[in-house]
Amino acid sequence: MAYDPNNIFAKILRGEAPSYKIYEDAKTFAFLDIMPQARGHTLVIPKTEAETIFDVEPDMLAAMIETTQELAAVVKRVVEAPGVMIAQLNGAAAGQTVFHVHMHIIPRWEGADFKLHAREMAPAAELKDLQAKILAALP
């Protein structure tokens, strides 16, 4: 399947669609998931046209993982989560719904299940508040 430049993350990258942006550098971009599976659910994408982990150049893959490591620590601290799950889905059969490669940062609490994938929109006020808190906590 060819990369679709009109997927929602490509539009967010081009500034054609809005996002609760929390971080950007030369190779990566990160923003809050609007249908979070847990409070603080964050997505990290590389600035390259790649659908899955199999299509992304090694340097962009490394940058995506580096940004994920840095932001996961910040998000974990901001939402006061004892654990954090890092996930990455490739192909519809694996549950991928947006075909621009990305990492999920999903804070976790013992005994608390995370919500269903890409199902329920979080209130805008909640996302905005969290965005401000994460931005304030970034080094």
Q: How many CA atoms lie within 13 A of 139 on its CB side?
A: 6
CB distance 107 to 40 below 8 Å: yes
Element (H, E) at 62: helix 58-78
Give the total of residues touching ligand 5GP (CB under 6 A): 15
Q: What mask, x for binding ligand 5GP by CB under 6 A, covers residues 31 to 70? A: xxxxx-------x---------------------------
Q: How many other CB atoms are there within 10 angstroms of residue 76's CB atom?
A: 17
Structure token pair of residue 124 = 């805008």
Residue 8 touching ligand 5GP (CB under 6 A): yes
Q: In the bound complex, what is the minimum distance in angstroms from residue 78's beta carbon to ligand 5GP?
A: 17
Among all residues, which ones are annotated catalytic? 102
Q: In the bound complex, what is the minimum distance in angstroms from residue 66's beta carbon to ligand 5GP?
A: 20
Q: In the bound complex, what is the minimum distance in angstroms from residue 104's beta carbon to ligand 5GP?
A: 6
Residues of span 76-115 touching ligand 5GP by CB under 6 A: 89, 95-98
Structure token pair of residue 133 = 């808190």
